[in-house]
Amino acid sequence: MVDLRSAAAKLRPLVIAVLLVFIGSMVASAQFDTGTISGIVTDSSGAVIPRATVNVTNSGTSFQKTLQTDNGGNYTASALPSGNYVVTANAGNFAEAKSQQLVLNVGATVHVNLTMNVAAANQSIEVTGTTTTVDTASSTAGTTLYANQIANLPTNGRDLMDFLEIAPGSVNSTGFFQGSVNGQENFLTGLNVMVDGQSATRGDINGFTETEGNEQARLTRSSVDSVQEIDFANSGYNAQVGHSLGPQMNIITKGGTNAYHGELFEFFRNDALDANDYFANRLSNPKVPLRMNQFGGNLGGPIIGSKLFFFVNYEGIRQRTTAINSLYEIPSALVRSKMNAAMQPVLAQMAPLPAGCTAIPAPTSCAVSGTDELDPITGLPDGNGAQLVYDPAALPTTLREDSGSARIDYNFSDKDRIFFRLMIR
């Protein structure tokens, strides 16, 4: 008979080890959109102030972390959600010191040093020029694009993958970013794309390119207006990311704040506003008809002030292009004249003959060379003309896309928060 107590005792270390690994992975994965603010609090003579109370406050959501300086006057506020922050320091007999608003990016460490003066009645001092934004705590090389840059830099079709072209060391060699980073072809090294720290690469494509993450790019991208930040790392990144030997692209989506914000947009393209291609003009080819409407909007704000926030986004695309194939071939009047009554339903479904191409034999300007009807005895053209004529064909292509996202953020405390994001396509 199995001793259940003995078996449970033997399994306990294994269970604890699995839980520690699981919890550790949760902590690691939760750092995808956070940064760190640190610094030193001193008085006007440069002496450090221990046990000063430091408040780090998010300007948008009022999320606040409170801590105390150590014996060396140092403080470190880690795992802060990316955003805009203000740092204040208070200590007995000193006036409150307050920093200017600063921007904390994903994975960055911002140093904010505060200097406190002896207090007068109800005195508060705003400290300027104390923020160091160069991240000296990480060896990662890359760049960060902010919401303002993302919204204003031009992209064809509002595709976020286009921003890879301005990342350090990137060279684009095709229309969908199949290039190299730091001299290494990303066809071989891969490109890892993440949205809010979760992999957005496709797993249903065979071959090496499944790590590209940008085939059918609209499947893996967020709307431009729903993105708060793009963090691009091309070397020196740690094991928290990975999934490919090449660069890492982490797209951070927007969340709501204590103020309601929203916008509507419409982007319109029409061939009537376009010039024809130079080479098309040389060949006397007409412009390719184009009708494109890209529209949508977003709205964000509080549900419960300073605790619960929402952000929703929608984007739609309606596009119609028409390719003109001037070498499209159809049966000539000669062929049609030989169709019997049983073939009339087939004839009725054929494209009509172009104007000026209805004669037998077909005019030279319409006739497809090498398709003349042949005499069955001599094997030479019988004089009835070509069996095929050219008919410039309009081949329409229609694209309709509807995509959106919804995000809910909830702050339990200055140590715990959670968010839910739903993306619809």
- Give residue for tokens 């160091």: 132
**How far is it, in rounded angstroms, from Cα 350 to Cα 366?**
17
Strand pairing category for 124-127 and 96-99: parallel
Specify the higher pLDDT residue, 240 or 128: 240
pLDDT tens, 45-54? Answer: 999 999 999 9
Do 368 and 345 touch, CB atoms closer than 8 A?
no
The model carries a pTM of: 0.69
Specify the higher pLDDT residue, 219 or 349: 349
Do 331 and 355 touch, CB atoms closer than 8 A?
no
Do 247 and 232 touch, CB atoms closer than 8 A?
yes
Q: Which residues contact 194 (CB under 8 A, 6 or more apart)?
A: 32, 200, 241, 248, 249, 250, 251
Quick count: other Cβ atoms within 10 Å of Cβ 106? 19
Which pLDDT band holds residue 356 (cuts at 50, 70, 90)?
confident
Do 271 and 290 touch, CB atoms closer than 8 A?
yes
- pLDDT exceeds cutoff 90 at 90: yes
Q: Which residues contact 24 (CB under 8 A, 6 or more apart)?
A: none
Q: Which residues contact 53 (CB under 8 A, 6 or more apart)?
A: 66, 67, 68, 89, 90, 91
| pLDDT, position 21 | 45
pLDDT tens, 136-192? Answer: 666 677 788 888 888 888 887 787 877 877 777 777 765 555 567 767 666 666 677
Torsions phi, psi of 67, nearest 5?
-150, 175
Of the listed ranges 1-15, 244-258, 296-310, the one predicted with least confidence: 1-15
